[in-house]
Amino acid sequence: MVIIPQLPKPEEPRIYNWLPELIKIAGEINENTFFVGHSMGNQVIIRLIESLPNNISVGGAVFVAGFLKRLTNLEDDDIVRDVVKHWLETPIDLVKVQSHLLKAVAIFSDNDPYVPMDNQDLFRDQLNAKIIIEHNKGHFSGNDSDQTFNLPIVLETINELINP
């Protein structure tokens, strides 16, 4: 079963709104549970995994355009800056996350205007994620600037995680 959650207030995402909703939507989590996130969605997935009891593991996660360090080229908008600060300055225990995460892959674009390439370091070093760098995919968002509407690498990666 594939679930694409509609998280509350996407124009102003907050941990206290998104995390409880994702926990509710995800239901029972186990080694047959796999997550795919994009951009801010990765943050809430990582925090959900961090919140799991010690005896629960997630089968895997694919993080697309994920960030743990910083973002760049943000709009000159107080709300956007405040949202990013909220997520980046709220600590995450990546050691605990990794202990619940059986497999991880992080996919980045070499020309993402928002997610600098140095974000891959923490995914690789702290979450033991396999790193994939795509060429000229922008922020993988399908907007006018990057025109990325199909991501076969994500489907391939999910299939590899589920059927090694």
Dump pLDDT digits (tens) for 6-56.
Answer: 999 998 899 999 999 999 999 999 999 999 999 999 999 999 999 999 999
Which amino acid is located at 64 in the chain? V
Among candidates 138, 132, 133, 159, which has minimal Cα distance to 39?
138
Q: Does domain 43-154 have CATH number 3.40.50.1820?
A: yes
How many angstroms separate the CA atoms of 47 and 149, rounded?
27
How many angstroms separate the CA atoms of 83 and 9, rounded?
12
Element spanning 130, H or E: strand 130-134
How many angstroms separate the CA atoms of 64 and 42, rounded?
7
Domain locations in the chain? 43-154
Dump pLDDT digits (tens) for 83-99.
Answer: 999 999 999 999 999 99
pLDDT at 1: 82
How many angstroms separate the CA atoms of 23 and 21, rounded?
5
Burial category of 95 from C-beta neighbours within 10 Å (exposed 0-12, middle 13-18, buried 19 and up): exposed
The arithmetic mean of pLDDT across residues 55-63, rounded, is 98
